[in-house]
Structure 1
C-alpha cells in the first residue's frame, strides 16, 4: 500500500494504544515534551470515556514478557556490510529476549522524504517501536510526530539530537576521536619529531565527523604530542574523491608526516590507488590512523599503511537497539540521551582487547560479534 502524503499524520491513530503508551511514559517520568502534552489531552478524554461508558472494561494486565512486540528498523539504505551486521545483531537480541519480531527496511535510495513516508506508514500500522537512522531534519520532525502519536522511537547510527527521540544508540564520536588520537600518540611514542598532520574528512562541517576531529586533536594535546594540523581536506563521502584528496595533499606538501582519516574511504580500494601514501609508508615517513573497521580496511593495517583502525560497533547498533527499545516498551526503562555502544580497535599485533586484521576478518565472515546487553 502506498503511504499517505507527507503532511504529518492525516489518518486515525489507535487512540487506546497511544493513550496507554503516553500515560506509561508520563508516570515513569521519561516522556518527551510532545508526548506529555498529547498524553495530557488523551488522559482527559480517556477519563471521560471511562466514567461515561457503563460497559467499559479495564485492561487485563499480565506479564509484559508474554506480549509479542514488533520493532521496525529504518536504515538510510540497505545492501552493505554494516547494515547486515546491525540486522544480525537485532535478530540475535530479539531471539534471546523472545516474543519480538524485527523488521528491517530503508528507502530505495537514501532519500529523507521516503524515510518520512516509512515512519508515517509504520505509525499508522501501530508497530510497537521504531529504530531510525536519520537522513536529516525532515526525518527528525517525523520522529517527533511519531512520538506524539504514541510510538516509541530511538535513533541509531545517525542521530536527531534535537528531536524527541528517547535515546540515541550508537557511537560517541568525540570519544572515538580521542581513541584515535591516543593510538596516534602510541604509534609515535619516543619520536620527538614535530608532527605535521593532515585530516581527511567527509563533508566539511558534518557534526559527527567534526566531533571525531575535535576528540583526535584534544587527545594529542593531552598526550603532549608536538603537532600541527596542516589542513583538513574533504572527500565528500566519495571513495574516488577521498583517494584524490589524500594523494594531492601529500604531493602538495611533502613535509606532512601524519594523516588522520575520520572515515574509511581511501582504504576501501586497492592500495595501488594510493602510490604516494604507499611510498611514504614504506619509507617510514608517515603515521596514519583511520576510522572504521570495515573488512576491506584490514589490508591497510596488514601492509603497514595504517597503524590502527577505530571501528564503530555495527552489530552492537542492532543488538543494543533491540535491547534498549524492549526495556523502554516492556519495562518503562529510562536511558540517557546517548546510549554509547563503544568501539573496536584493530592493530597489527592485536591483544589487550584489540583485534588483529585476521581476527576482524573472521568476525566479518561469521558476524559472531559478542555483546553484553546494556542496562537502563
Structure 2
C-alpha cells in the first residue's frame, strides 16, 4: 500500500470515528435524561423487588445484549430493573454509581467486578446493608458479593491461546489488545492466553495495548504496535470491539500477513470473518448471563440457597461455522 492509499484509509477511519462518536453522543444524552429521572423518582414500577444494573458503558453491544437478557427474565419474574451506566468506560464513575445505588436502597445490584479495595469495600457495604450484589461479566472475588454469573474467563483465554498456537502458523510474535487493566475478566483472559502461547514453541508476546472498549482506539493501538514491532504476525483482542478494530488497523498499516483473533460475536466481527480479515472469535453469551443473574436473584429472594459462581457457555466462531449459528450465542461450553 503506497503512502497516498494509507492516507486515504486513515482519513476514512477518522471520518467513520467522528460519525460514530456523534451518534453515541446523541443516544447517550437521551439515556442520561432517563437515568436522572429514574434516580430522582425512585423505582417507578409495580414490582416488590427492585434491582439496579450498572453496566460498564452505554451503547456497547455486549452490554446491550446482557441488558436484554436481564429485561426479559425480569419481566417474566415480575422484578423491576433500572439501568445505569457511564457514557464511556470509567472505573471511577462505576464506583460512584455503585455508591449512589447503595444510597438508593434497592433489593439488589448487578455490577461488573472491578479490581481494587475501594470497589470491594462498597460491595461489602451493600451486602451489610442487606443489598444483594451479583457480579456479571467480571468478578470481584475478594469482596462479599453474593455470586458471580458469567464466562469462565481463565478458560476462555486458554481457548483463545489454543486457537492461536494450534493454527497453521507454528511460531510467531503476538500483539495483544485488552480493554482495561482494571477489569478482572481481561486479566484472567490474558493469564489463560499467556499460559498457552508461552508454553508453545516459538511464540512470544511482543506488546500489550489498551483499547478502552473503543474500536477506533483498538485500530490506533494496532497501527502503533505493528509499526514498533514489525515482526508481529498475530494480533488478538480480549474484548468485543477489539477484533474489528484490529482488522482495520492491520489494513491501515498495509499488512496482509497478520492473523487476527478476538472475543464476542458482533456484526462487524462476523463481517470481518467472512472477509477473511479475522480468523476466529471466542463467543460469550451475554444475553444468557443477564437472564441467569436475574433468575439467581429470584431464587435468592425466595429464600433459596444459590451458588456463588455460575459459569455460562462459550464457543468458537470462525469461517467454517459462520453461517451455522443463528445468533452467534454459541452452541455449548468450550473444553
Cα offset for 1:156? 1.1
Pairing partner for 1:330 from 302, 318, 325: 302
Q: d(CA) in 2 for partners of 1:194 and 1:340?
A: 32
Q: Is contact 1:170-1:340 (8 Å) kept?
A: yes
Note if 1:309 corresponds to 2:290.
no
Q: Is contact 1:243-1:265 (8 Å) kept?
A: no
Please give the TM-score of this superposition, normalised by the length of structure 1. Answer: 0.65
| Pairs within 5 Å for 1:45-84 | 68-84=48-64
Q: d(CA) in 2 for partners of 1:75 and 1:270?
A: 24
Q: d(CA) in 2 for partners of 1:158 and 1:277?
A: 33
Q: d(CA) in 2 for partners of 1:239 and 1:322?
A: 30
Pairing partner for 1:226 from 201, 219, 228: 201
Q: Which runs of 5+ in 1 are unaligned?
A: 5-66, 351-355
Q: d(CA) in 1 for partners of 2:128 and 2:331?
A: 32
SS of residue paired to 1:279: coil
Q: Is contact 2:134-2:147 (8 Å) kept?
A: yes
Q: Is contact 2:264-2:284 (8 Å) kept?
A: yes
Q: Is contact 2:57-2:87 (8 Å) kept?
A: yes
Change in CA separation of 1:148 and 1:263 when aligned onto 2, cut-off 3 Å = same
Q: d(CA) in 2 for partners of 1:71 and 1:207?
A: 23
Between 1:253-262 and 1:105-114, the stretch displaced more is 105-114
Change in CA separation of 1:131 and 1:231 when aligned onto 2, cut-off 3 Å = same
Pairing partner for 1:87 from 67, 82, 85: 67
Cα offset for 1:202? 3.5
Cα offset for 1:208? 2.8
Q: d(CA) in 1 for partners of 2:331 and 2:104?
A: 28
Q: Is contact 2:210-2:218 (8 Å) kept?
A: yes
Q: d(CA) in 2 for partners of 1:342 and 1:99?
A: 26
Cα offset for 1:76? 3.1
RMSD across aligned C-alpha pairs, in angstroms?
A: 3.3
Change in CA separation of 1:141 and 1:230 when aligned onto 2, cut-off 3 Å = closer
Cα offset for 1:308? 0.7
Which residue is equivalent to 2:221?
245
Cα offset for 1:165? 0.5
Note if 1:114 corresponds to 2:96.
yes
Q: d(CA) in 1 for partners of 2:227 and 2:272?
A: 20
Q: Is contact 2:242-2:262 (8 Å) kept?
A: no
Please give the TM-score of this superposition, normalised by the length of structure 2. Answer: 0.72
Change in CA separation of 1:345 and 1:287 when aligned onto 2, cut-off 3 Å = same
Which residue is equivalent to 1:235?
210
Which residue is equivalent to 2:259?
287
SS of residue paired to 1:289: strand
Q: d(CA) in 1 for partners of 2:177 and 2:330?
A: 31
Which residue is equivalent to 1:262?
238
Q: Deviations over 1:113-166 (max 9, x none)?
A: 53134322332xxx3322122456434322211211122221112332211111
SS of residue paired to 1:258: strand
Larger Rg: 1
Q: Is contact 1:203-1:236 (8 Å) kept?
A: yes
Change in CA separation of 1:197 and 1:113 when aligned onto 2, cut-off 3 Å = closer
Q: d(CA) in 1 for partners of 2:181 and 2:66?
A: 27
Q: Is contact 1:307-1:347 (8 Å) kept?
A: yes
SS of residue paired to 1:160: coil
Q: Is contact 1:3-1:117 (8 Å) kept?
A: no
| Pairs within 5 Å for 1:186-201 | 186-188=166-168, 193-201=170-178
Pairing partner for 2:316 from 345, 367, 370: 345
Cα offset for 1:89? 0.8
Q: d(CA) in 2 for partners of 1:130 and 1:212?
A: 25
Note if 1:103 corresponds to 2:82.
yes
Q: Is contact 2:244-2:272 (8 Å) kept?
A: no
